[in-house]
Amino acid sequence: MERENRKEDGKILKKILEFLKEYGHTVWELSQKLSINEDSVNFYLNKLTNSKKYLAGGFINSWRTHGGSFVYVYVSPTKKRDPLPEKAFISLPTAGNEGEKGLYQRVIILDDVLGPNNEPAKCIEITPFYDIHIGHRKCDMDLFRADVEQVRKRPNRFAIFGGDSIEIALGDSAGGAAWAGQSIPPDEQRIVFENEIRDISGKTLVMIPGNHEHRTTKKTLMCPLREVAKSLEIPYFAGPVILDITWRGFRWTFHISHGRSGSNTPGGKLNAVGKPRNYVVADFFIMGHVHDKKSHRVSRLVPRREFREGKLVSFSIMPKVERKIICPSYLMYEGTYAQQAGYTPGSRESILIQLNADGSSTVATGSRTLEGDVTGINI
Ligand SMILES: [Fe+2]
């Protein structure tokens, strides 16, 4: 019999807790909801207040109404935020043009970084994440998560985020009622994205927005990605950025933009990624936006001058190799506006940039292996 009662008590305590978690209740309100008298409510409230098991770290707080009766509410335990993962690189301040309104970011990766099998790394790997479109119902989250996991797992693999990370389809966005087809509403897309990349925030060298995030900025001057970057302490830039990576005494320069082009031809897309070559000298020119995978080596002739004690001692003209890279997206094809408009299906493969310990570099473009490598053509 006593056992029965205890069971019944447990049920009532749970019920009261549910009510008090929702909002504050008076004893009379609880008695009405539970169909028990006020003395019994007071009995159970007293039990609940002293029960570590039911309170689970929280507590019952109460205050007087103007009429003198008490309102009771459950207060959850304060959650401590997990600390961010440690930074696996150092961001160097630059001369006045750094920061979100600037265009230059310089990072140092420590010489003793390890490789995938905990041996000294033979190269630094960069995964460029472009056009993830989180929130679009055809976003391939499994593929995205698999790539994030490789960055997390491999000590020598780092990430950059090149825009259109979240979908942000608004009422007046291109695509008509595209907003209605989102699987996650825009306000939650930012939170989902932040949670998905939190584990690799310490290995994300830079983040920029794309035209999809710009939809918000154009209307409100607020960029959701800026909030993500701020929260995760990731270097954020409002537009294209020049990124210098130094490792083991070598330096590689990247021009990173989201990109823009309406072209449907390989030549047109490669012309678009090469446009900044008119005004920037870099080792890599990277963009996305066109949801395709392309890469191309080009060279330019650059002057090389050597000085000793301020005097010019040699002058020569040297070829310098530059790589134009277009990154694929994480958006599937069937059932999207691209299919409806009759665009060529985009690539489902990947791009991995390798900065080698001898100062050279490789770009692997092809399919992913289960071990996280990218096989295919190296350029
Ligand atoms: Fe885009």
Q: Domain segments of the chain: what residues?
A: 2-75, 90-378
Residue 152 CA, ligand 1 centroid: distance in Å: 25
CATH of domain 2-75: 1.10.10.10
Residue 98 CA, ligand 1 centroid: distance in Å: 24
Task: Please give the full DSSP string across 289-303, using - where no structure is assigned.
Answer: SS---EEEEEEEEEE
339 membership: H or E segment, kind and range: helix 337-340
Say how far apart CA 131 and CA 336 lie, in whole Å.
Answer: 14
Going across the sheet that includes 70-75, the strands are 25-26, 70-75, 59-64
pLDDT of 321: 93
Residue 223 CA, ligand 1 centroid: distance in Å: 15
pLDDT of 154: 94
User: CATH says 90-378 is which class?
Assistant: alpha beta
* DSSP-derived 3-state class of residue 209: coil
Residue 343 CA, ligand 1 centroid: distance in Å: 15
Residue 260 CA, ligand 1 centroid: distance in Å: 7
Say how far apart CA 126 and CA 370 lie, in whole Å.
Answer: 18
CB-side exposure of 285: number of CA atoms within 13 Å?
Answer: 25
Residue 169 CA, ligand 1 centroid: distance in Å: 12
* DSSP-derived 3-state class of residue 122: coil
Residue 122 CA, ligand 1 centroid: distance in Å: 33
pLDDT of 69: 87
pLDDT of 283: 96
* DSSP-derived 3-state class of residue 16: helix
| Tens-binned pLDDT, residue by residue, of the chain (379 aa) | 455 677 788 899 999 999 999 999 999 999 999 999 999 999 999 999 999 889 989 999 999 888 888 999 999 888 777 888 999 999 876 655 545 667 888 899 999 999 988 899 999 999 999 999 999 999 999 999 999 999 999 999 999 999 999 998 887 777 666 777 788 998 899 999 999 999 999 999 999 999 999 989 988 888 999 999 999 999 999 999 999 999 999 999 999 999 999 888 889 999 999 999 999 999 999 999 999 888 999 999 999 898 898 899 999 999 999 999 999 999 988 877 777 777 778 788 899 999 999 999 999 988 888 777 888 777 7
Say how far apart CA 328 and CA 335 lie, in whole Å.
Answer: 18
Q: Which two tokens stand for residue 249?
A: 């005494």
